[in-house]
Amino acid sequence: MSLPTPSLAAFLSASLRRQLLLAYRRPVDTINPLLFFLLVVTLFPLGIGPDPAQLAEFAPGILWIVALLASLMAAEGMFRQDYEDGSLEQLLLSPQPLYLASLTYSFAHWLVTGVPLTLLSPLFATMLQLPVAALPVLLASMALGTAILSLVGSIGAALTVSLKRGGMLISLIIVPLYIPVLIFAAGAVRFAAEGFDPAPQLLLLAGMLSLSVALAPFAISAGLRISVDAG
């Protein structure tokens, strides 16, 4: 079946714009992860006691765990709407390459959840007494890490979207895959906080990012095809 492929670039930018527009029309999706982040960061002192020294020591870990959960929650509903209203069917039928289309989904998801998290993380970090010296590294690790999380999260979302109320099954699928990100990212921040050189971990993160940019879309498109077929 041979179909003429219309301008790819135009399609990709349009699809990106569409996702961002939808996110803008539904700000709750953007705000909730931040809100959630804020909430949990405030819960921690309540939960584990307010001693600044302790908080400072665990700030990197806590920040990253919460970031991970936030983007996990955001990932869950990523394709749900498009699946239920049939947009996904139309996407699969369109002559455009699904590989790139699914990449735009992850990218939009990152712009809408990852970037705000990254930008606000210094605020949360100071709430947790993270030394100021570590903030640049925190920002870098957040930017890289959340991008990976978005890509990996999309895989889980694509595989589970057709399951009626598949719900948090996604967490089981992708949290294990998140773990390396958590370890290296939190490690980088900790190193920075303790005055060591975090470059190696950041490089590792960059490597993992490029790996997932290259491979994740295959898994995502496969997952989407299966889901639409099974639905």
For 147, residues 6+ apart whose C-beta sits below 8 A from its C-beta are 110, 114, 209
For 50, residues 6+ apart whose C-beta sits below 8 A from its C-beta are none
Q: What CA–CA distance (Å, rounded) separates 69 from 207? A: 22
Question: What distances in angstroms separate CA 71 from CA 6, 81, 148, one per listed residue?
Answer: 33, 18, 10
Give the range of 66-74, 90-98, 111-119, 135-143 binding another protein by CB under 8 A.
90-98
Interactions with another protein, residue window 37-76 (CB under 8 A): 38-39, 42, 45-46, 49-53, 55
3-class DSSP assignment, residue 133? helix
For 29, residues 6+ apart whose C-beta sits below 8 A from its C-beta are 23, 74, 77, 112, 113
Interactions with another protein, residue window 112-131 (CB under 8 A): 126-127, 129
Residue 107 or 178 having the CB closest to its own copies: 178
Residue 118 or 221 having the CB closest to another protein: 221
Interface residue list for its own copies (CB under 8 A): 25-29, 31-33, 35-36, 39-40, 43-44, 46-49, 57-58, 60-62, 64-65, 68-69, 73-74, 77, 81, 84, 163-169, 171-172, 175-176, 179, 182-183, 186
157 lies in the binding site for another protein (CB under 8 A): no
The site partner of 14 among its own copies, another protein, none (C-beta below 5 to 8 Å per kind) is another protein
Looking at residue 196, what DSSP letter applies?
S
Residue 97 or 231 having the CB closest to its own copies: 231
Among 91, 138, 144, 192, binds another protein (CB under 8 A): 91
The site partner of 43 among its own copies, another protein, none (C-beta below 5 to 8 Å per kind) is its own copies
Give the range of 71-79, 108-116, 136-144, 154-162 binding another protein by CB under 8 A.
154-162
Q: Of 131, 2, 109, which is closest to residue 117 (Cα–Cα)?
A: 109
Residue 4 or 165 having the CB closest to its own copies: 165
9 lies in the binding site for another protein (CB under 8 A): no
Query: Helical H runs in the chain?
Result: 8-25, 27-48, 52-76, 80-84, 87-93, 98-109, 115-127, 135-160, 169-194, 199-230
Indicate left, alpha or beta for 167 from its phi (over 0: left) and psi (-120 to 50: alpha). Answer: left
CB of 213 to its own copies, least distance (A): 24
CB of 47 to its own copies, least distance (A): 3
Q: Would you mind telling me the total number of residues written for the chain in this entry?
A: 231
Interactions with another protein, residue window 197-226 (CB under 8 A): 208, 215, 219, 222-223, 226
